[in-house]
Amino acid sequence: MIDPGIIEVLLPANQEIAGPEARVARAAVRALANGRRLPVLLVITGVLGVSLEARQVYAGSIAAAAFALVGESPVDRVIAHYLLRSKTETIPAQFFTSESDAVEWLRQYASED
């Protein structure tokens, strides 16, 4: 957890993210959310790629109130747009190059519990 009520997921750089890695991240988010829907900061800097299965896992997240994807390079931006294409319309999502801007945007989706 970073910032009150925001979950950060750091995807491993220099790796292709497949279904098993995505399921581990989803399980961790669900455990931290503890039955609530919380905003998620998904750091994708340096990720080599994301499989279709991993994309479906992230898109099907029931614990996320919103996704902010953070990356630095043009490749990160392409991967983010690939992930954003699969999101459901009920989960707001946006790409950022600044983690602080992403956290500021996510704060509007953080619960006040």
Per-residue pLDDT of the chain (113 residues; tens, 9 = 90+): 787 789 999 999 999 999 998 999 888 888 998 888 899 999 999 999 999 898 888 777 777 889 899 999 999 999 888 887 765 567 888 999 999 999 999 999 987 55
Residue with tokens 């957890």: 1
What domain count does the chain have? 1
Residue 59: domain span: 7-109
Site of tokens 């294409």? 85
Exposure class string for 44-62: b at 16+ Cβ within 10 A, else e: bbbbeebeeebbebbbebe
Query: What token pair was written down for 13?
Result: 């750089």
Q: Which CATH number fits the domain that encloses residue 104?
A: 3.30.750.24
Q: Cα–Cα distances in Å, from 9 out to 24, 28, 110?
A: 11, 9, 16
Residue 55: inside a domain, yes or no?
Answer: yes
94 found inside a domain: yes
pTM for this structure? Answer: 0.86
Q: Do the beta carbons of residue 92 and residue 61 sit within 8 Å? A: no
